[in-house]
């Protein structure tokens, strides 16, 4: 859409904030009838699945967040209880949302090794402990539920002005998905550096920490500019383990990615699909920046790949946040997504314009 051309990345030509639109197919009488019948069936199916998801999430909230308070003083028992029921009910919710099977792969980027190990048992998820950090791209509220099912982690919200993270619940993370990214922490709210939050999570057995360095959602067609959340860390990272993953969705009619628009209506349409497909790639543990065998990616190596970064920009990024530079490079290679120079402020400007054009809710920028 040319009216949104201002948010087309100059280096790649990609518009990472626009909700994806499926390509149009030629229509005829039989296809039109088929679409009408499909629409009616999807409407009934969507309503049924929507109610089942709501029931699963309601049970998740009551069993985990309400009844779980009875065990809050026994940290180990509370953690086990919280993990088991979150895992079960979050997976049920994903199933009713149409994600009957989630393809997971462990990926190696080193030459001479098997590139992809598709067996579910080969993923090093059992090694992830409280205080470890999970780093991912962010495209939807769906991967939040997946991460809850897989790790029962502590989600975070990043603030640019202080370069700090605020620990939040799954429910809060879902609420802020696609929302205007906040630049400052709310008044009276404690925010932490990544090292401080890792220590807090470890000492209180809170689970691993999820960090989205983009700090806002994209449509999954490219990576947004990373924020310097890892700035204080040196390589290899020794304070905690880092698990790097990438989430992608395959779709024909409707994309599960969510960047703007009515979230409730997006969720209804998601449930109305006969099936949805999520692909998750994990980087092999010994290639993580927290591994003792980690080999840094050089600036020259990055500029030799298909990215919009110039050597000067890559060098600046390396100086500002060397660990973050390595992580975005690894995610880019693993996912084969190009990197853009668009970030949080661009998303805020886009959302303001988007709501003005669509007649929806618009909030005055801070």
The conformation of residue 339, written as its DSSP 8-state character, comes to B
DSSP output for 273-305: SS--EEEEEEE-GGGSTTSTT--PPPHHHHHTS
Q: How far apart are CA 165 and CA 157, in angstroms?
A: 6
- Residue 318: per-residue pLDDT: 52
- Residue 26: per-residue pLDDT: 57
pTM, rounded to two decimals? 0.87
Beta-carbon contacts of residue 6 (< 8 Å; ≥ 6 apart): 349, 353
In a domain, 364, yes or no: no
In a domain, 313, yes or no: yes
- Residue 267: per-residue pLDDT: 95
In a domain, 16, yes or no: no
- Residue 292: per-residue pLDDT: 80
- Residue 154: per-residue pLDDT: 96
DSSP output for 124-190: GGGG--TT-EEEE----SHHHHHHHHHH--BEEEEETTTTEEEEE-HHHHHHHTTSPPPSSPPTT--
- Residue 122: per-residue pLDDT: 41
What is the residue-level pLDDT of the chain in tens, covering all 366 positions?
567 788 888 888 899 998 887 665 555 555 555 555 566 677 788 889 999 999 999 999 999 999 998 988 888 899 999 999 999 999 999 999 999 999 999 998 876 454 444 444 344 554 789 999 999 999 999 999 999 999 999 999 999 999 999 999 999 999 999 898 999 998 888 999 999 999 999 999 999 999 999 999 999 999 999 999 999 888 888 889 999 999 999 988 889 999 998 999 999 999 999 899 999 999 998 888 988 878 776 444 444 444 444 444 555 555 678 899 999 999 999 999 999 999 999 999 999 988 887 766 545 444
In a domain, 94, yes or no: yes
Domain total of the chain: 1
Both tokens of 286, joined, read 């010994």
In a domain, 3, yes or no: no
- Residue 241: per-residue pLDDT: 93
Q: How far apart are CA 45 and CA 12, in angstroms?
A: 39
Contact 318, 299 (CB under 8 A): yes
Beta-carbon contacts of residue 244 (< 8 Å; ≥ 6 apart): 135, 136, 282, 283, 288, 327, 330, 331, 334
Backbone φ and ψ for 233, nearest 5 degrees, come out as -90, 150
Q: How far apart are CA 303 and CA 181, in angstroms?
A: 29
**Cα dist. 163→36, 132, 160, 169 in Å?**
50, 19, 5, 20
In a domain, 4, yes or no: no
- Residue 310: per-residue pLDDT: 47
User: 117 in helix, strand or coil?
Assistant: strand
Q: How far apart are CA 217 and CA 249, in angstroms?
A: 14
Structural domain for 301, as ranges: 28-358
Alpha-helical (H) ranges within the chain are 29-60, 75-96, 142-151, 170-176, 194-203, 263-272, 299-303, 311-320, 322-335, 344-358
In a domain, 43, yes or no: yes
Both tokens of 300, joined, read 């020259």
In a domain, 7, yes or no: no
């Amino acid at each position: 859409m040319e009216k949104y051309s201002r948010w087309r990345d100059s280096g790649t030509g990609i518009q990472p904030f626009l909700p994806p639109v499926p390509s149009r197919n030629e229509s005829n009488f039989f296809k039109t009838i088929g679409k009408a019948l499909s629409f009616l069936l999807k409407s009934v199916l969507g309503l049924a699945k929507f109610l089942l998801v709501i029931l699963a999430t309601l049970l998740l909230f009551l069993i985990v967040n309400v009844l779980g308070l009875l065990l809050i003083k026994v940290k180990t028992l509370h953690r086990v209880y919280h993990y088991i029921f979150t895992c079960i009910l979050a997976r049920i919710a994903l199933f009713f949302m149409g994600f009957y099977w989630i393809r997971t792969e462990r990926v190696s980027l080193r030459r001479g090794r098997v590139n992809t190990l598709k067996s579910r048992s080969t993923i090093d998820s059992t090694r992830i402990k409280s205080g470890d950090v999970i780093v991912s791209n962010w495209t939807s509220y769906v991967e939040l539920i997946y991460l809850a099912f897989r790790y029962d982690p502590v989600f975070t919200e990043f603030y640019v002005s202080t370069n700090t993270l605020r620990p939040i619940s799954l429910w809060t993370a879902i609420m802020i998905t696609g929302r205007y990214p906040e630049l400052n922490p709310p008044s009276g709210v404690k925010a932490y550096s990544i090292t401080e939050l890792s220590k807090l999570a470890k000492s209180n057995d809170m689970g691993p920490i999820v960090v989205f360095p983009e700090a806002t959602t994209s449509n999954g067609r490219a990576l947004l500019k990373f924020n310097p959340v890892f700035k204080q860390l040196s390589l290899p990272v020794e304070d905690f383990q880092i698990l790097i993953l990438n989430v992608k969705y395959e779709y024909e009619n409707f994309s599960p990615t969510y960047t703007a628009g009515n979230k409730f209506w997006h969720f209804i349409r998601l449930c109305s699909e006969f099936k949805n497909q999520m692909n998750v790639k994990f980087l092999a543990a010994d290639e993580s920046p927290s591994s003792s065998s980690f080999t840094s990616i050089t600036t020259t190596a990055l500029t030799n790949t298909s990215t919009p970064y110039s050597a000067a920009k890559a060098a600046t990024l390396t100086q500002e946040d060397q660990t973050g530079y390595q992580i975005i490079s690894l995610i880019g290679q693993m996912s084969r997504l190009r990197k853009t120079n668009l970030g949080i402020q661009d998303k805020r400007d886009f959302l303001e314009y988007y709501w003005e054009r669509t007649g929806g809710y618009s909030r005055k920028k801070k």
